[in-house]
């Protein structure tokens, strides 16, 4: 079987969660007997000429870079000649299945191009977030920052200041493109349900965890808590949606009240300067009030992560949007580190309250401060029934089963069209 996996960005220069998942799945599939894998990554400018042609990497599968970029509304190719580049890859690889790990940058038209170029080849698409549903960067937050559970052309038009006719046309355009997909995959039930509410047939959606190469611990840790408080970490981009300000506000409230609840908070990542003056100012003001508990560590590498996780009592994921299946949650659980997270969406699904970690009210520093106070009074944060993330081999097998189902669906569709 020849599998073509499509990533919306090249992991080598943009190692986001979806890209990491696509690469890990390619590595896992390549280890299976009888399976040939090509990973095609969309890129704005293909660097050296030879990278425009497939090359065999150290992990035993082929890679190729494809010129491709889309607009931010319809997710349509900005240059019509991108279709030629994608078609060249399809004809070179001659895959038995095409698995898209996104439509952003890749082009929402790509499933239709596969249908025209290789009519009998099934198309699988992983939905990593809500861009198709939501024009607010796929965050499902309205213009006031309030959580949104369902879209409509009228509501979306008001939210992003578009004419209703444009939002209706855009929604219809994306839905029609999705008709060329045989089977969808979502990493969480929450995302599946949102897309089903939006109109996807639940029979065409399978919930399969992201493939991830995780640094694991076998033993369950029951480390005693220090007398002077919790050791916490925030790991991720500093965006308005990730809730870093909620966490910092909670820690400051505790410190200013004189309660020794947090010994230290280590903040990893960056980006607060890339999301507007208001958010940057908010973070700067919180940092100015901080008096020694919080340390900003900057960027980190995957090699650094095990040491970071092993050095804390828990990580905090305080996102104010629904999230899908945050990679950092899986990374923490693989190291047997509990997760403190907002009580909504994919976070609440992946972290069972009191089993894998603990929930607090989304967006509420007061709720988070109260939870941290309660946790700091314990002798240990050990959770004996904490979930163990799936091994890559198990995720690969679930994808192979999905590919088989997609192939059967495609065969039935082709037969009915004759």
Q: What is the pLDDT of residues 85-135, one digit of tens each?
A: 999 999 999 999 999 999 999 999 999 999 999 999 999 999 999 999 999
Of 338 and 382, which is predicted with more confidence? Answer: 338
The pLDDT score that the predictor gives to residue 256 is 86
**Segment 230-273, tens digit of pLDDT:** 999 999 888 889 999 999 999 999 988 888 899 999 999 887 66
The pLDDT score that the predictor gives to residue 315 is 98
Tokens of 128: 């990593």
In degrees, to the nearest 5, what angle opens at C-alpha 277 toward C-alphas 275 and 279?
60
Segment (H or E) for 40: strand 36-43
Task: State the average pLDDT over residues 292-303.
Answer: 88
Question: Could you tell me whether strands 55-56 and 36-43 are parallel, antiparallel, or unpaired per DSSP bridges?
Answer: unpaired
The pLDDT score that the predictor gives to residue 246 is 95
Give the integer Cα–Cα distance in Å for 158 and 145.
14
The pLDDT score that the predictor gives to residue 53 is 77
* 63 three-state secondary structure: strand
The pLDDT score that the predictor gives to residue 396 is 97
Q: Residue 291 pLDDT > 80, yes or no?
A: no
Task: State the average pLDDT over residues 322-339.
Answer: 95
Query: Do residues 302 and 335 touch, judged by C-beta distance below 8 A?
Result: no
Give the pLDDT band of residue 221 (cuts 50, 70, 90): low
Give the pLDDT band of residue 283 (cuts 50, 70, 90): confident
Q: Which residue has the tokens 């319809």?
A: 74
Residue 286, Cβ neighbours under 10 Å: how many?
17
Q: Residue 217 pLDDT > 70, yes or no?
A: yes
Query: Do residues 356 and 330 touch, judged by C-beta distance below 8 A?
Result: no
Among residues 239, 256, 393, which one has the least CA distance to residue 317? 239
In b/e form, how buried is each residue of 14-32, taking b as 16+ CB within 10 angstroms?
eebbbbbbbbbbbbbbbee
Between 82-86, 199-203, 256-260, the lowest mean confidence (pLDDT) is in 256-260
Give the CA distances from residue 237 to residues 84, 272, 285, 338, 401, in Å, rounded to whole numbers and listed in that order: 35, 8, 18, 20, 34
Paired residues of 2 in beta bridges: 36
Percent pLDDT > 90 in the chain is 72
Task: State the average pLDDT over residues 323-343.
Answer: 95
**Segment 377-415, tens digit of pLDDT:** 998 888 989 999 999 999 999 999 999 999 999 999 887
Q: Residue 220 pLDDT > 70, yes or no?
A: no
Give the integer Cα–Cα distance in Å for 100 and 124.
6
The pLDDT score that the predictor gives to residue 85 is 93
Tokens of 106: 């890749």
Q: Is 234 left (phi over 0), alpha (psi -120 to 50) or beta?
A: beta
The full set of domains in the chain, from first to last, is 2-213+392-417 (3.40.50.2000), 230-376 (3.40.50.2000)
221 DSSP assignment: P
Phi and psi for 245 in degrees, rounded to 5? -65, -35
**Segment 160-181, tens digit of pLDDT:** 999 999 999 999 999 999 999 9
Give the CA distances from residue 75 to residues 11, 177, 202, 275, in Å, rounded to whole numbers and listed in that order: 20, 10, 23, 21
Q: Residue 48 pLDDT > 60, yes or no?
A: no
């Amino acid at each position: 079987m020849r599998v073509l996996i499509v990533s919306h960005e090249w992991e080598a220069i943009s190692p986001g969660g979806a890209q990491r998942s696509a690469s890990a799945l390619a590595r896992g599939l390549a280890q299976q007997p009888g399976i040939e894998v090509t990973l095609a990554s969309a890129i704005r400018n293909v660097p050296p000429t030879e990278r425009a042609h497939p090359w065999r990497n150290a992990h035993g599968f082929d890679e190729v870079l494809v010129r491709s970029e889309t607009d931010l509304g319809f997710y349509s190719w900005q240059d019509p000649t991108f279709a030629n580049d994608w078609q060249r890859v399809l004809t070179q690889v001659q895959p038995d299945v095409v698995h898209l790990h996104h439509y952003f940058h890749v082009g929402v038209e790509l499933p239709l191009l596969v249908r025209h170029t290789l009519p009998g080849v099934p198309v699988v698409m992983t939905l990593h977030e809500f861009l198709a549903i939501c024009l607010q960067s796929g965050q499902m937050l309205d213009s006031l920052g309030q959580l949104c559970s369902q879209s409509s052309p009228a509501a979306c038009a008001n939210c992003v200041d578009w004419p209703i006719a444009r939002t209706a046309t855009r929604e219809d355009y994306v839905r029609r493109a999705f008709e060329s997909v045989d089977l969808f995959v979502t990493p969480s039930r929450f995302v599946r349900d949102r897309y089903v509410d939006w109109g996807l047939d639940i029979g065409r959606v399978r919930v399969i965890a992201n493939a991830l190469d995780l640094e694991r611990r076998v033993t369950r840790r029951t480390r005693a808590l220090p007398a002077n408080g919790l050791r916490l970490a925030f790991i991720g981009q500093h965006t308005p949606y990730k809730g870093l300000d909620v966490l910092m506000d909670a820690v400051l409230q505790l410190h200013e009240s004189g309660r020794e609840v947090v010994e230290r908070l280590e903040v990893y990542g960056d980006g607060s300067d890339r999301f507007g003056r208001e958010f940057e100012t908010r973070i700067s003001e919180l940092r100015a009030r901080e008096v020694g508990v919080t340390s900003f560590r900057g960027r980190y590498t995957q090699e650094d992560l095990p040491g970071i996780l092993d050095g804390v009592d828990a990580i905090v994921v305080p996102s104010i949007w629904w999230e899908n299946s945050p990679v950092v949650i899986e990374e923490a659980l693989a190291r047997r580190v509990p997760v403190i997270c907002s009580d909504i969406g994919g976070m609440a699904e992946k972290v069972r309250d009191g089993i894998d970690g603990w929930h607090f009210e989304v967006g509420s520093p007061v709720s988070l401060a109260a939870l941290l106070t309660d946790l700091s009074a314990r002798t240990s944060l050990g959770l004996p029934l904490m979930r163990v993330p799936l091994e890559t081999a198990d995720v690969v097998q679930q994808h192979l089963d999905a590919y088989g189902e997609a192939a059967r669906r495609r065969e039935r569709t082709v037969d009915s069209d004759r």
